[in-house]
């Protein structure tokens, strides 16, 4: 049974569309995006991100629009726009500021604006609230409310879907927080937790990703150290994991729009309040430098100049996901193409141009090469492990298996010249 509440979701990307889809099962939902081609595709049941199945989209009750006036009379506005960093690693608030300016004139008395975008502690009330008040000519919380409920979606994850992920909610007042709680509690099967303030909720979100970033940075640094000592990092981690309180993180490339970005929001605010963080930024430096480190290892393997051609597999920022924003695989590819002939493949972009200079070949057209780099552990590649050996790897080719899709046993069985983090 649907409630009468009207909810507008602002931004229909990797976060907004799955959320709108889930909300539409219980509420009247307007899906707004400024990208006209995105709106037309969604109306036709096409999701380029592959987050919502075509059959579901076609039957969806979401009202997709590029006209912000269609959001008028909404009881709730949920903002899910990107919050990236600029070239100086400082918060780029252009999208979230624009979203506030678009939403504000359509607010009515009693409306509640919920932000899901990752921000630094205080941004919702210090930046977003004044913009909403200024452009709406209303006061908050007297006329309208604001709240914060951080997104926790894991793009490409078909197991931990939105309804199965626990949620945090917050609001300016207990009353506003309770109203937000009721909205999310209807769509979330997991537990919904109330934060005592918006700043607490903002902080909880930002340290989730900062913690993961630091844990991976630790493993990446161990990988660099153990490589110099000719020690198998994966075996070390596997054995260390036999102790109950060891955290089983793996080395790898940290990119995307969350883990590689969110720590900079925290460190930016930290500097603003007078503390220069060292540990968090050190982790970021290690992770950001991994493409350069891996390229240096490839060059070390090529001292005899035998590597003439490279196959590069996987360009997205993570497995089973089409998003290549801030992809360190892409960064590494760009570094290598300066010195090597490279054929590129990714199952999400077969036969397409990523940009005018980057063409992604079809898998069936990938030929044998001197060096094969498996940069992303797409399920597609895991299922093709034997095919790689029989059809793509040369007898003496080098394999840089960055996500360790091949086990030690497989390495011996297939007689692979394997390099792993």
**Choice among 100, 128, 177, 258 that is catalytic:** 258
The token pair at 28 is 């009247």
| Structure tokens that stand for 410 in this block | 């497989």
201, 168 contact by CB (below 8 A): yes
The closest of 229, 227, 247, 224 to 237, measured between CA atoms, is: 247
The answer to whether 147 and 169 are in contact (CB under 8 A) is yes
The 8 Å CB, 24+ separation contacts for 234-237 are 234/404, 234/408, 234/420, 235/408
**Residues 97, 134: Cα–Cα separation, whole Å:** 12
Which whole-number Å values give the CA distances from 389 to 224, 372, 393, 410, 419, in the listed order?
Answer: 27, 11, 5, 10, 15
Query: What whole-number distance in Å separates Cα of residue 305 and Cα of residue 300?
Result: 10
Q: 3-state class of 53 per DSSP?
A: coil
Cβ(370)–Cβ(398) below 8 Å = yes
- Work out the end-to-end distance of the chain between its first and last CA atoms, rounded to an integer number of angstroms: 51
- Tell me the DSSP string of 202-239: HHHHHHHHHHHHHHHHHHHHHHHHHHHTT--HHHHHHH
- Look up 258 and say whether it is catalytic: yes
The residue among 388, 215, 263, 250 whose CA lies nearest residue 314 is 388
- Active-site residues: which are they? 258
């Amino acid at each position: 049974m649907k409630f009468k509440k009207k909810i507008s979701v602002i931004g229909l990307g990797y976060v907004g569309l799955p959320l709108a889809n889930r909300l539409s099962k219980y509420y009247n939902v307007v899906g707004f995006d400024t990208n006209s081609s995105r709106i037309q595709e969604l109306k036709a049941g096409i999701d380029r991100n592959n987050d919502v199945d075509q059959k579901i989209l076609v039957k969806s009750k979401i009202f997709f629009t590029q006209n912000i006036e269609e959001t008028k009379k909404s009881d709730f506005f949920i903002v899910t726009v990107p919050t990236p960093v600029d070239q100086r690693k400082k918060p780029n608030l252009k999208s979230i500021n624009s979203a506030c300016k678009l939403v504000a004139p359509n607010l009515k008395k009693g409306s509640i604006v919920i932000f899901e975008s990752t921000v630094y502690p205080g941004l919702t009330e210090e930046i977003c609230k004044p913009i909403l008040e200024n452009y709406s000519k209303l006061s908050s919380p007297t006329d309208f409310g604001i709240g914060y409920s951080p997104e926790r979606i894991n793009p490409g994850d078909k197991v931990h879907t939105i309804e199965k992920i626990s949620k945090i909610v917050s609001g300016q007042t207990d009353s506003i927080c309770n109203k937000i709680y009721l909205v999310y509690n209807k769509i979330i099967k997991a537990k919904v937790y109330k934060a005592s303030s918006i700043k607490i909720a903002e902080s909880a979100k930002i340290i989730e990703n900062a913690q993961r970033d630091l844990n991976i940075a630790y493993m990446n640094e161990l990988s660099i150290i153990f490589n110099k000592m000719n020690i198998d990092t994966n075996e070390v981690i596997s054995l260390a994991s036999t102790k109950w309180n060891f955290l089983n993180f793996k080395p790898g490339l940290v990119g995307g729009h969350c883990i590689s970005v969110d720590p900079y929001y925290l460190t930016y605010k930290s500097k603003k309040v007078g503390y220069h963080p060292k540990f968090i930024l050190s982790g970021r430096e290690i992770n950001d430098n991994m493409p350069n480190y891996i390229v240096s290892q490839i060059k070390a393997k090529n001292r005899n100049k035998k590597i003439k051609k490279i196959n590069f597999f996987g360009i997205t920022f993570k497995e089973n996901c089409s998003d290549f924003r801030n992809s360190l695989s892409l960064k590494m590819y760009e570094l290598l193409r300066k010195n090597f002939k490279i054929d590129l493949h990714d199952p999400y972009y077969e036969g397409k141009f990523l940009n005018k200079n980057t063409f992604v070949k079809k898998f069936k057209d990938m030929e044998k090469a001197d060096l094969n780099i498996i940069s992303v552990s797409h399920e597609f590649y895991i299922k093709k492990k034997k095919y790689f050996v029989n059809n793509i790897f040369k007898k003496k080719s080098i394999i840089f298996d960055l996500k360790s899709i091949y086990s030690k046993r497989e390495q011996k069985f297939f007689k692979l010249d394997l390099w792993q983090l």
